[in-house]
Amino acid sequence: MNQETGYESNELIDRLPKHLKQFIKPQNYEDYTPIDQAVWRYVMRKNVQYLSHAAHESYLNGLKQTGIEIDSIPSMYGMNRILKEIGWAAVAVDGFIPPNAFMEFQAFKVLVIASDIRQLEHIEYTPAPDIIHESAGHAPIIANLDYAEYLRRLGAIGAKAILSNYDMELYEAVRKLSILKEAEGVPQAEIDEAEQEVNRLQNMDVEHSEMAKIRNLQWWTVEYGLLGSLDAPKIYGAGLLSSIGESKSCMSDAVRKIPYSIEAAYQGFDITKPQPQLYVTPDFSYLMQVLEEFSNTLSVRKGGSKGLQRLIDSHMVGTIELSTGLQISGKFTRTILNDDNEVIFFKTEGPTALAYREKELIGHGTAYHSHGFSSPLGKLKNISLAIEDMGPVDLKAYNFYDGEWLSFEFESGIKVEGLNLTGIRNIQGKLMLIQLTNCTVTYKDEILFAPEHGVFDMVVGKEIVSAFAGAADANSFPNLYDVSQTITKKPPKSEAKKQLEGFYGSVRKMREQKTENDTNLHDIFQKLQAEYPKEWLLHLEIFELAKDESLRDKIHNYLNNLALKQSNLKRLILEGIELVEEFQAK
């Protein structure tokens, strides 16, 4: 383990940009309690039993390929050694991370795994990302190469999708709810308040941002996808694979099955409830077909004034790419349009960087453009040839030469006057940036740039061909994403909880070391009845180990009575007994 970072790294993790590495946390495997291990074991055994015939064949094959064990929570180090063979890696994070960051990890073929595990009370389902959902849900399916490429491609597109303020509000609200639900001792009123806020936001009638549409596609495929025919689909979505409740209920006729299409991008979801409908794709290749169709609607491919306006509305760092290939990254705050809704001027505020082909231009990083950037766009008035299309002879003819005084007007009416210092060309020899001093830029009666502002860097480009979230060069903005201020809660454990963990630990040790003893098991059983009357999972573990028929009968009767008294536990208990008996019959 790297002492500086606190986590194990590898080639795939090493290549992550700094703004993603800030989310990686150490797994701290020793923090998993014997109760956590028992929760993992129950869910995984139940999943393998049921999913062996309900899940896509890639799931069980993937469990073997990714080395995920049934009896023990996986360590990130062990997973990474095996995931490396299929070209992926995994890192631990603290719950939900910002949407673009999540997608960008995926684009780098790195699974983000919330290392915490759901409480026993939420063993069937939790809205919080946890190690069951991430490692036992996502990891096995990526062993399928078609699906793995879809996941990577979805991440690459999603990382460029433009967000809205609403997206970030919803992200923070969901993160807060998930943390509160999985923290012991939180007052129910506080959880209810957080859930009401999530519901309020989810029920708002707002226009879907690009990120919201991508998030919908991710939800209905990666998280809740079905594959095959409408009549007999198989499960491949991680949200279903990791939910021992919904993986079964989703197959009922009560859940509507819909052929997967681009329409899924416009279908919202409620993260706090089971899904009333699911989408069925005929195969993994079709997912890529729909993604490609959807990608053609995004600003990253369409650019233009709409793309720039979406970046302005997002209030976050974004990038526009011009027809010359020059890329400008920063927080866009203003645009001027002509009568044809074409961008003729744009402006950023705060740190801005210029790049070409995702590489920052030397001398044009955020330190140099620390107070923002602005420039006109378009073609020059009465000149049929765009500046970017001019060769050396044309540039000299129109005075675009180093050390020459320039005075020209764009078709839009924007006028520029100043001394040409130098120009920067792209790899094809096209001029893409002109530096002027003593420069004045005007539009109608407004001064857009004055000589006292310093050197004017004017971009060259007829139009914006692409607009997307984030920076062109990841190194330009090392703190691109803000880390949420809502921190996972770790309340102190009560003495009763510590004692219960001790009982779980004793039983686990007996099973692992094959030292089970009916006398010791009986003593623990007696103490559980007296001090933890609602405990059920440890009773199942004792029932599995007990050899004495009298003790087995006592535990069996106790569990059956508990199932009658606690209707919310009935199915878990009865299916647990069935699971043990089936396992022992093999």
- CATH code, 315: 2.30.30.100
pLDDT at 5: 59
Over 80: is that where the pLDDT of 191 sits? yes
pLDDT at 1: 54
More confident call, 121 vs 281: 281
Domain boundary among 429, 449, 476: 476
Rounded Cα distance between 55 and 227, Å, is 9
| Predicted TM-score (pTM) of this structure | 0.89
For residues 536 and 472, membership in a common domain is answered with no
Rounded Cα distance between 215 and 138, Å, is 16
For residues 68 and 91, membership in a common domain is answered with yes
Q: Check if the beta carbon of residue 337 is closer than 8 Å to that of residue 481.
A: no
Domain boundary among 242, 261, 292: 292
Whether 3 maps to a domain, the answer reads: no
Rounded Cα distance between 312 and 148, Å, is 33
3-state secondary structure at position 209: coil
For residues 155 and 249, membership in a common domain is answered with yes
| Side chain identity at residue 71, one-letter code | D
Whether 490 maps to a domain, the answer reads: no
For residues 312 and 250, membership in a common domain is answered with no
| Side chain identity at residue 330, one-letter code | G
Mean pLDDT over each residue of the chain, to the nearest integer: 91
Domain boundary among 268, 292, 316: 292
Question: From the CB of residue 506, how many other CB atoms can be counted at a distance below 10 Å?
Answer: 15
To which H or E segment does residue 175 belong? helix 165-182
pLDDT at 586: 67
Over 70: is that where the pLDDT of 556 sits? yes
Q: Check if the beta carbon of residue 236 is closer than 8 Å to that of residue 302.
A: no
User: What tokens does 465 get?
Assistant: 């061909």
Please state the domain count of the chain. Answer: 3
For residues 160 and 245, membership in a common domain is answered with yes
Whether 487 maps to a domain, the answer reads: no
φ, ψ (nearest 5 deg) of residue 269: -150, 160
Whether 486 maps to a domain, the answer reads: no
3-state secondary structure at position 509: helix
Whether 6 maps to a domain, the answer reads: no
* Domain extent at residue 175: 11-292
User: What tokens does 182 get?
Assistant: 């999985």
Segment 485-512, tens digit of pLDDT: 887 777 788 899 999 999 999 999 999 9
Confidence of residue 2 (pLDDT cuts 50, 70, 90): low
Q: Which of 367-371, 420-424, 526-530, 538-542 has the lowest mean pLDDT?
A: 420-424
Q: In what order do the strands lie in the sheet with 226-228?
A: 233-235, 226-228, 277-281, 256-259
Residues shown for the chain: 586
SS3 assignment for 364-430: CCCCCCCCCEEEECCCECCCCCCHHHCCHHHHHHCCCCCCCEEEEEECCCCEEEEEEEEEEECCCCC
| Side chain identity at residue 24, one-letter code | I
Question: From the CB of residue 14, how many other CB atoms can be counted at a distance below 10 Å?
Answer: 9
The DSSP 8-state label assigned to residue 362 in this structure reads T
For residues 174 and 253, membership in a common domain is answered with yes
For residues 411 and 549, membership in a common domain is answered with no
Q: Which of 350-364, 394-408, 466-480 has the lowest mean pLDDT?
A: 394-408
Q: Check if the beta carbon of residue 377 is closer than 8 Å to that of residue 334.
A: no
pLDDT at 559: 95
The candidate with the shortest Cα–Cα distance to 316, out of 341, 361, 348, 346, is: 348
Over 80: is that where the pLDDT of 4 sits? no
Q: Which of 150-154, 172-176, 211-215 has the lowest mean pLDDT?
A: 172-176
For residues 179 and 310, membership in a common domain is answered with no
Whether 100 maps to a domain, the answer reads: yes
Alpha-carbon dihedral sign for residues 128, 131, 132, 134:
positive
Rounded Cα distance between 375 and 398, Å, is 20
Confidence of residue 342 (pLDDT cuts 50, 70, 90): very high
3-state secondary structure at position 547: coil
For residues 257 and 309, membership in a common domain is answered with no
Q: What's the CATH code of the domain at 50?
A: 1.10.800.10
For residues 228 and 90, membership in a common domain is answered with yes
For residues 198 and 317, membership in a common domain is answered with no
Confidence of residue 6 (pLDDT cuts 50, 70, 90): low
User: What tokens does 193 get?
Assistant: 């308040």
For residues 445 and 518, membership in a common domain is answered with no
